[in-house]
Amino acid sequence: MFLLSLLIFVPVVYGLMLLFVPKSQVKFTALLFSLSTFILSTRLFREFDPSRADLQLVEKFSWVKAFGINYFVGIDGISFWLVLLTTFLMPITILGSWKAVEKNTRAFHANLMFLQSALIGTFLAFDAILFYVFFEASLIPMYFLIGLWGGPRKIYASVKFFIYTMFGSVFMLLAIITMMIMTQTLDGGGGMSASLLDFYKLDIPFIGGTLINSQTLLFFAFCLAFAIKCPMFPVHTWLPDAHVEAPTAGSVLLAGVMLKMGTYGFLRFVLPMFPEATAYWSWLLMLLAVIGIIYGALVAMVQPDIKKLVAYSSVSHMGYVILGLFTLNEFGVTGGLYQMLNHGVSTGALFLLVGMVYERTHNREISKYGGLAKAAPWFTICFMIITLSSIAVPMTNGFIGEFLILLGAFQANSYLAGAAVLGVVLGATYMLWMVKRVFFGSTGELVEKYNSKLEMNWREGAVIAPLIILVFWMGLLPNHFLNWSKASLEHLLQNKNNYTLSYVTESTPSINGKKMIALKDKAVK
Amino acid sequence: MSVKLLFSLLFIFPLLGFLFNGVRFKSKNYKLAGGLATAAVFASFMVAVTLVVKLIGMEEGSRQITAHLFSWIHIGDFVANASFLLDPISAVMILIITGVGTLIHLFSIGYMSHDERPSKYFAYLNLFLFNMMLLVLGDNLLILFVGWEGVGLCSYLLIGFWFSDSEKAAAGMKAFITNRIGDAAFLIGLFIIFFQFGSIEFLTINSLLPTTAEVGWFGPMTLACLFLFIGATGKSAQIPLYVWLPDAMAGPTPVSALIHAATMVTAGVYLIVRLSGLYLLAPNVMMLIAIIGGLTAFFAATIAITQNDIKKILAYSTVSQLGYMFLAVGVGAFVPALFHLMTHAFFKALMFLGSGSVIHAMHEEQDIRKMGGLKKYMPITHFTFLLGWLAIIGVPPLAGFFSKDEILWYTYASPQGSKILWILGVVTAAMTAFYMTRLMALTFWGKSRVAKDVHPHESPVSMLIPLVVLGVLSVIGGWIGIPHVISAVLPGHIPNVLEHWLEPVVKNINLGEISVAAEWGGMLLSITAVAFSATLAYLFYGSSKSEMPNKISTALGPIYKLISGKYFIDELYFGKIINPLIDMSKGLWLYIDVNFIDKITYLAADFAAGCGRGVRDLQNGNIQRYAMYMSIGLIIVLSIILLGS
């Protein structure tokens, strides 16, 4: 059973099919399609064995033989939840923008499907070129989502988004090609290979304290690409514009999943492939992450636009993720991975909630609100719960992630952790100040005008309910989630300096993992 | 019944109450909402009693009940389970929390009868108790922290309960954010402890404590204690983070009684008593705590003298009394700190509820200058309030006398204490007597200054029962901790029950050789000081209206202005920290984000576009132009070849 390929390509087929569905039924069909993808993805719970740290459910076919490029997909504990996060958010996103998008609904939903396919592909690809293709392909549907269904400055935002991220990817492509050339020396001078598993085996020369050596250069090339994607201070300025102009669905997927492509990249490429450079330069990444946490929070605090505030809060939250990953210890990395999921849930939910109000009032200026709690009490409860998750109150998911990251950071560098803890205070400040101005106090002009229409309806309740359940589930029983990633993360951290990943094909009984790959790799070459 | 079940029930009752009332938050049926919420807390109280009885039945010295509910976080060596520990300390705490909690719930039914959202109110109140029990029962620092933040959240929700008023919503926000500053420090303290001991469980920490105290400020124990103490200053409203508590009075009055007087604000004291073994290893931090506590007690008392809002006076009084508790833990008097925590919970909850009864009767009027002579309209409220007054100013043999006196004695005699702090404590006691007598006199005695259209009336029975019960407790509550020096002269040798009960888990600092005469002398001195200033206040504000207060305040001029303006600390924080921070953030956004980073990216884009434009002009399809390029190229190549050869 080609489960992973199905997960990648079924959405493409769905997307194409949607183009031919009668207009009146597009939304409903898209919802069903995305639900079916989600249900398909839950097969992973049965097929994936969390006790093993190796690569599972592998599918590998030769693609460009001359350069050792394969269609090579697989899954391990690191990508497991990110795939599920993507399939989980999709139906929610579609149901969430039920009323928001009225023009070109066919193209809109087809784009969402294509985007999903590219996102899942990114998380499953274990061939560097294939990864790069998916990584870049995800830009195209997002570019259209922003550029066609976006706000007033959509062209500016979509072009800025596209060029910014393209810029980083170019360096990544260069780095990938360099590494492919390097793989020729592996296994006694065979051909090229673009397999990540071969990249892991490379022993790239590193000289501390200088910039011009292969490992450091490759390290920074990848870092730049992923840092822009995350985004990390100081290359974050595309994000607020992209978010503000994007339609709700675009924002949810952008914040919920696309940003994780960056942090996932750090975890999949940078940490295991360049161990010396990572250890040497981790202080820089951690420092930038902490600056990002504080900077993002401070700038979020003074935003006049709710959506922009949430966008800057993403900068702050992603700072936590990067801080966690570069602590290089179990607490930080586990927390970082968890925070990726948390951010997907809570920021995704925040964008959905902001979208619900925006659909009614067509205005997001904080100063024009006030007293919303009285007009829309159920909506307020939902918003409050998500706010608590976002500011990491215990018993919500955010707390587990943030706590583990700070714990790990304290072990790695207590001064930086001390600075990062300020983010805990500032996070509460910008969120609660916004909540106070939007929901409390006397009735603002927009609330006055749309008073009776502001309460959320059943559809919107159904959109937000699964996210709220996840907030508490992930906050109270984190082991339910972390157990699936534990083996892979432990494997990564325990073999920091000579990380390898092996796999067993389904058809062959697992006698000896390592030998099997060697055989298999040879065979493909 | 199994212990695990009992522990679960303790939490489940208020949680169910919260869920039930929370889901039907729009309901106006205050009797149903309040009745259920009260019943839930009372059920928890009964469970708590059962558990404590079990604890008493156990052998002295090994009184410990633990229950492991489920595994919460387990990453590598870091383990934080949902596990609970009932020992003599937490036993005292849960009895106070659920006991006083039940009374305040009962009181709230009447108090919130006219409110629009009684169900929501009771839901929050139940949620608060749930979190408060997590805080005191957790067997490790992280569960404590869960409760710690949880009570902060409930406090935020309840202070801003009437959120349509922007000021009240702001007060809630201020409370949460100020607490968050403390919480951030708490986390750092927790990290230090974890990396020092490899565990965050109290029992493990206690078993691994080093034997020698640290000198200096940068040892790990000292730093851990310091950061946890900063956390405590947030939750327990000590200098410099006390500013949120006076504003917290924006919430409904029973909330002030429960959260902002009796239970939540004492969490910091509980934390330090819980870790008393660790704190004894950090004498420098102990000294700091004693100084901060003493100063907080003193300055808050000075502010309380000048306030006219009945709840504000009680709020500053609470800050001041919490200062006493910190003074106590700072000088190593952990048992007296817990003792004062308990008696204070009785009499301050009583006074807040009493003020609630008054405010209810006065139709939301809170200015004591517009009251007076309420004694004849509300005799029971007056009488119970009177008991609270006598208890807080420390009239023997009421509750406050014993607890406060023991704190003062330890401040005087402990090796960690100091005479200056002791004097500060006695002066504060005198000031407490002054402002509380002033409050009594202006509210209940003398001539009525009540507005014509207000008709004060006694509160309904459901509100009076809690007052009476708390009144009784304020009288007899202190008898479980009668100091040896007094019990020695009393017939029958009443033992110090509390000290004995806590002995296996908390020990006071060793006082060394004590002088009985000095203890008596100190006691008499503080009683004299209290009697003197209470009489003075009565003369100033009692039956005949005296001109003295006005004269004094005019004579003091700027000093009076400074004190009645609460030392302008809020203005200082806003002017020097918060507003500059906001301005700076705007600057960051405008100058770094929009005008610097973005400008650079535009430049890069322009550069790329410029290059493109330059190259584009080269290929414009003009054949002659191409021919020219070719000839130029040819010339260059030829000249290179020719020159090179």
Using the Cβ of A421 and the Cβ atoms of chain B, whether some distance falls under 8 Å is answered with yes
Question: How far is the CA of A150 from the CAs of A108, A147, A237, in angstroms?
Answer: 11, 6, 18
Q: What is the mean pLDDT of residues B261-283?
A: 94
Taking an 8 Å cut-off on Cβ atoms, the answer to whether A299 and B588 are in contact is yes
Q: Which residues of B touch A422 (CB under 8 A)?
A: 184
Q: What is the pLDDT of residue A482?
A: 93
Each residue's pLDDT, cut to its tens digit, for chain A (525 residues) gives 789 999 999 999 999 999 998 988 899 999 999 999 999 999 999 989 999 888 999 998 988 888 889 999 999 999 999 999 999 999 999 999 988 888 888 999 999 999 999 999 999 999 999 999 999 999 999 999 998 998 888 888 888 888 888 888 899 999 999 999 888 887 766 788 888 998 998 888 888 888 888 899 999 999 999 999 988 988 999 999 999 999 999 999 999 999 999 999 999 999 999 999 999 999 999 999 999 999 999 999 999 999 999 999 999 999 999 999 999 999 999 999 999 999 999 999 999 999 999 999 999 999 999 889 999 999 999 999 999 999 999 999 999 999 999 999 999 999 999 999 999 999 999 999 999 999 999 888 888 888 888 899 999 999 999 999 999 999 999 999 999 999 999 999 998 888 888 887 654 444 444 444 444 444 443
| Coil, strand or helix at B138 | strand
Taking an 8 Å cut-off on Cβ atoms, the answer to whether A394 and B165 are in contact is no
**What are residue A376's DSSP bridge partners?**
none
Chain A segment 91-120 residues within 8 A of B by beta carbon are none
Q: Which residues of A touch B598 (CB under 8 A)?
A: 237
Mutate to test the interface with B, among A159, A432, A434, A448 (most CBs of B within 10 A): A432
Q: Which residues of A touch B116 (CB under 8 A)?
A: none
Taking an 8 Å cut-off on Cβ atoms, the answer to whether B166 and A404 are in contact is no
In angstroms, the CA B64 to CA B66 distance is: 6
Q: What is the pLDDT of residue B645?
A: 60
CA atoms within 13 A on the CB side of B16: 13
Using the Cβ of B153 and the Cβ atoms of chain A, whether some distance falls under 8 Å is answered with yes
Q: Which residues of A touch B150 (CB under 8 A)?
A: 393-395
Considering only CA atoms, which of B126, B247, B111, B119 is closest in space to residue B179?
Answer: B247
| Coil, strand or helix at B38 | helix
Mutate to test the interface with A, among B72, B191, B574 (most CBs of A within 10 A): B191
Query: B583 Cβ partners below 8 Å, 6+ apart?
Result: none
In angstroms, the CA A86 to CA A444 distance is: 37
Counting the structural domains of chain A, the total is 1
| C-beta of residue B108 within 8 angstroms of C-beta of residue B250 | no
Question: How far is the CA of B631 from the CAs of A426, B163, B442, B636, B639, in angstroms?
Answer: 66, 81, 106, 9, 12
Query: B413 Cβ partners below 8 Å, 6+ apart?
Result: B511, B514, B518, B519
Provide the strand spans (E) within B595-635: none
Burial status of residue B520 (CB atoms within 10 A of its CB: 0-12, 13-18, 19 or more): middle
The alpha carbon of B516 is separated from its chain's Cα centroid by a whole number of angstroms, namely: 35
What are the structure tokens assigned to A122, written together?
């990114």
In angstroms, the CA B645 to CA B642 distance is: 5
**What are residue A69's DSSP bridge partners?**
A64
**What are residue B459's DSSP bridge partners?**
none
Q: Please give the torsion angle defined by the CA atoms of residues B261, B262, B263 and B265, in that order, rounded to the nearest 10 degrees.
A: 30
For B176, the closest of A406, A407, A428 (CB atoms) is: A428
Q: Which domain holds residue A384?
A: 290-494
Chain B nearest CA to A333, separation (Å): 11
Reported confidence tier of residue B74, pLDDT bands at 50, 70, 90: very high
| C-beta of residue B89 within 8 angstroms of C-beta of residue B270 | yes
What are the structure tokens assigned to B95, written together?
């009895």
Using the Cβ of B29 and the Cβ atoms of chain A, whether some distance falls under 8 Å is answered with no
Using the Cβ of A164 and the Cβ atoms of chain B, whether some distance falls under 8 Å is answered with yes
What are the structure tokens assigned to B59, written together?
């052998």
- Residue of chain A whose Cα is closest to the Cα of B602: A160
The alpha carbon of B318 is separated from its chain's Cα centroid by a whole number of angstroms, namely: 10
Query: A47 Cβ partners below 8 Å, 6+ apart?
Result: A1, A3, A56, A57
3-state secondary structure A121-187: HHHHECEHHHHHHHHHHCHHHHHHHHHHHCCCCHHHHHHHHHHHHHHHHHHHHHHHHHHHHHHHHHH
Give the DSSP H/E element, type plus range, for residue B82: strand B78-86
| C-beta of residue A311 within 8 angstroms of C-beta of residue A390 | no
| C-beta of residue A343 within 8 angstroms of C-beta of residue A251 | no
Taking an 8 Å cut-off on Cβ atoms, the answer to whether A441 and B586 are in contact is no
Q: Which residues of A touch B594 (CB under 8 A)?
A: 237
Q: Which residues of A touch B189 (CB under 8 A)?
A: none
Question: Across chain B, which distance is largest between two alpha carbons, in Å?
Answer: 126
Q: Which residues of B touch A410 (CB under 8 A)?
A: 188, 191-192, 195
| Coil, strand or helix at B507 | coil
Q: What's the start-to-end Cα distance of chain A, in Å?
A: 24
Considering only CA atoms, which of A508, A503, A485 is closest in space to residue A198?
Answer: A503
Q: What is the pLDDT of residue A296?
A: 94
In angstroms, the CA A180 to CA B247 distance is: 64
What are the structure tokens assigned to A180, written together?
């492919």
Chain B segment 563-592 residues within 8 A of A by beta carbon are 581-582, 584-586, 588-589, 592
What are the structure tokens assigned to B193, written together?
């402890």
Taking an 8 Å cut-off on Cβ atoms, the answer to whether A237 and B75 are in contact is no
Residue with tokens 């007690």, as numbered in its chain: B297
The dihedral region occupied by B365, where left means phi > 0, alpha psi between -120 and 50, and beta the remainder, is: beta
Q: What is the pLDDT of residue B1?
A: 62
CA atoms within 13 A on the CB side of B1: 14
Counted residue by residue, chain A has a size of: 525
Name residue A123's amino acid. Answer: F
Chain A nearest CA to B51, separation (Å): 26
ipTM, two decimals, is 0.91
| C-beta of residue B349 within 8 angstroms of C-beta of residue B418 | no
Question: How far is the CA of B19 from the CAs of A58, B25, B122, B373, in angstroms?
Answer: 46, 10, 10, 43
Using the Cβ of A487 and the Cβ atoms of chain B, whether some distance falls under 8 Å is answered with no
In angstroms, the CA A388 to CA B62 distance is: 40
Name residue B599's amino acid. Answer: K
Bridge-based pairing state of the strands B65-75 and B78-86: antiparallel
Is residue A419 in a domain? yes
Per-residue pLDDT at B363 exceeds 90: no
Q: Which residues of B touch A479 (CB under 8 A)?
A: 71-74
Q: Find the angle CA(A464)-CA(A467)-CA(A469) to the nearest 5 degrees.
A: 110
Q: Which residues of A touch B142 (CB under 8 A)?
A: 403
The residue ranges of every structural domain in chain B are 1-139, 140-564, 569-644
Name residue A488's amino acid. Answer: S
Q: What is the pLDDT of residue B594?
A: 84
Q: Is the peptide bond before B240 cis (omega within 30 degrees of 0)?
A: yes
Burial status of residue B305 (CB atoms within 10 A of its CB: 0-12, 13-18, 19 or more): buried
Q: Which residues of B touch A440 (CB under 8 A)?
A: 160, 163-164, 166, 169
Chain B nearest CA to A383, separation (Å): 14
Counted residue by residue, chain B has a size of: 645
Chain B segment 497-516 residues within 8 A of A by beta carbon are none
Residue with tokens 């295991």, as numbered in its chain: A272
- Residue of chain B whose Cα is closest to the Cα of A418: B188
What are the structure tokens assigned to A217, written together?
């250069």
Bridge-based pairing state of the strands B78-86 and A69-75: unpaired
List b or e across B89-108, with b for residues whose CB sees 16 or more CB atoms inside 10 angstroms: bbbbbbbbbbbbbbbbbbbb
Q: What is the DSSP string of B479-505?
A: GGG--HHHHTTSTT----HHHHHHTTT
What are the structure tokens assigned to A513, written together?
């993992």
Burial status of residue B551 (CB atoms within 10 A of its CB: 0-12, 13-18, 19 or more): exposed
Chain A segment 317-356 residues within 8 A of B by beta carbon are 330-331, 334
| C-beta of residue A13 within 8 angstroms of C-beta of residue A33 | no
In angstroms, the CA B549 to CA B286 distance is: 38
Q: Which residues of A touch B78 (CB under 8 A)?
A: 331, 404, 407
Q: What is the pLDDT of residue A506?
A: 55
Q: What is the pLDDT of residue A514?
A: 46
